[in-house]
Amino acid sequence: MPITAPQTAHRLNEWTANEIVAAIRAGKTTCEAVARACLDRIAERETVVQAWQYLDPDKVIAQARALDRSGRKDPLIGVPFGVKDIINTCDMPTEYGTPIYRGHRPASDAACVALTRKAGGVLMGKTVTTEFANVTPGKTRNPLDPTRTPGGSSSGSGAAVADCMVPLAIGTQTTGSTTRPASFCGVFGYRPTWGDLRPTGVMEASGSLDTLGILARSIEDVALYRDVLLGVDPKPVADDLPAPRVGFCRTYFWDRLESATRERLEEAAQRLARAGATVEEVSLPDEFEELEAAHRWISGFEMARNLAWEIENRAELISEKLRNGRLKDGLACSYERYCEMRDFVARCRRQIAPLFERHDVLLAASAQGEAPVGWDPVPHPWVYMMWTALHVPSVTLPVFKGASGLPMGAQLIARWSNDRRLFAAARWIYSRLGDA
C-alpha cells in the first residue's frame, strides 16, 4: 500500500528553504531547531526510504549550532541540504555508488558544496546514487510507495526532498538523473542551461552532457538555490510577466508514453489555454529523432574513457549491468562516430533556437508515467535524452497523478540561458495546474 507523504506544512522539516530563511532571520526559529526536525524525520522514515549513504547527526547539530552562534543572515541560513554521493565533500566520504571507492575521503568540497556552505546551508549528509551515476540501483525506495523505484541516478536526493527529510538536495544529470526522480517522487527538478553551474569536484560521467541538478519542493527554492550556486545575489521569481506562450510538444516518442501521461498533458494544455496562456502545438525537426542514439554514443564514449582506470584495475567490482551497457557501447564507439554524433547534436542545438521565437517554454513529458514497480532506476531513458543533449534548461513540475495516485510530472523546457524566464513560466503554470 502506498505511504502518503504529508500534505500540509506544519512541522519545521516540511518548510521550504525560503520559509526557513525568513523564520531564522526573524528570530522565529533557529538553525538547530530546523536541523533537529529534519533529523527526526530521517530517524522516523530512513528504514523505509533509505535515502542516505552517509549521515552523522552530531556533525549536523554542530554545524547548526555554529551558525546560530554566528548570527549570520546568509541567503540559505540554516537550510538543511543533501548532496548526491558523486559530489566531493571534505568531511564526509564520497563513494560514487561503487565498492571501488568505499570509504574514499576527498581533500576538498566540490564547488557546489562550498558555495552552499558559504551561503549558510547545513550539510545533512550524502544521498544515495546509482553506481557511478549510471544504471545499477542503490538502496533507495520511492517514499510514496516503497515497492517502486524512486528513479535515478539522483535517487536519494529526490526521495529525501519528497519525504521532507531536507528542503533542498543537489543531484546531477547526464540523461535524466534529476528529471526522472523529480517526476517519480513528486518534487520540482531543475536541470540548468549546460555549463552554468560549475561541476568542479563532481565525478564526471560525460562532460559534454553532465550538469548539476536541483531538487526542491517549490520553484522559489529552485531559483534561490540556483543563484547561490551561481554566486550571485538572489532575485525573486518574477511574478509580473504576462501569461506565458507555451509550445505543446508531443515529441517523436509520444506513442511510447503511457496513455495516462498523454491524457494529462493534453488536459494541461487545454487548461493553460483557458487560463490565459497562448498554447500552440509544436513539431520538432524530423532528425531530432536521432538524438536518442547520438546521446547514447556520446555518453558511452566519454564515460568509458573517464573510467579507464577502474575498467583496467577494478573491473570485477563494476556491475555486470554497467560493464555490458554504457561501458561496452562506449568502448565499441570509434572516435570518428563520436565526432559525427557530436557534430550532429551541435546542429540540432542550432535548430531548436527558432522554436523559442514564438514560445517562452515548451511543455512535454517528464517521464513515461508513474514510477514503475521494481528497482530499475532509469526506465525509459528516451524521454529525457533529447532535452539533455540539446543543453537547454528544463524544470519538472509535480502537477499530475497517475492511475495509482502516484506523481507524474510535466516538463517545461526553455531557450538556452533563459533560466529565469523558465522559473517565471513555471510559477505561472504550476499555480494553474496544481495536482491535476
**pLDDT at position 191, please?**
98
Residue 389 scores a pLDDT above 50: yes
Residue 78, pLDDT > 60, answer: yes
> What is the per-residue pLDDT for 8?
39
To the query of whether residue 155 is one of the catalytic residues in this protein, the response is: no
Is 153 one of the catalytic residues?
yes
What is the predicted pLDDT for the residue at 381? 92
pLDDT reported for residue 150: 98
pTM for this structure? 0.96
Give the β-pairing of 122-127 and 407-414. Answer: unpaired
- Measure the CA–CA gap between 266 and 277, rounded to whole angstroms: 14
Residue 143, CA distances (Å) to 49, 159, 214 in order = 5, 6, 18
Reported confidence tier of residue 9, pLDDT bands at 50, 70, 90: very low
pLDDT at residue 434, as a whole number: 79
How wide is the angle at C-alpha 390 spanned by C-alphas 115 and 257, nearest 5°?
Answer: 105
Given the C-alpha cell 566540490, which residue does it identify?
A: 110
- Out of 154, 155, 157, 177, the active site residue is 177
pLDDT exceeds cutoff 70 at 94: yes
**Whole-number pLDDT of residue 125:** 98
Percent of the chain exceeding pLDDT 70 equals 97
Contact 74, 119 (CB under 8 A): yes
Query: What is residue 1's predicted lDDT score, i.e. its pLDDT?
Result: 32
**How much is the mean pLDDT over the chain?**
96
User: Which residue, chain included where needed, has cell 491535476?
Assistant: 436
Q: What domains does the chain contain, in order, with CATH numbers?
A: 12-230 (3.90.1300.10)
The residue from 153, 206, 299, 319 that is catalytic is 153
Grid cell listed for 15 = 518548510
Q: Identify the active-site residue in 84, 206, 299, 366.
A: 84
> Residue type for 295, please?
H
Q: Give the range among 4-18, 92-106, 263-277, 360-374 with minimum mean pLDDT.
A: 4-18
pLDDT at 85 over 70: yes
Spatial CA neighbour of 203 closest among 118, 117, 104:
104
Q: Which residue has cell 549536523? A: 60
Please list, in sequence order, all residues whose beta carbon lies within 8 angstroms of the beta carbon of residue 140, skipping any fewer than 6 positions away: 49, 50, 51, 127, 128, 150, 155, 156, 159
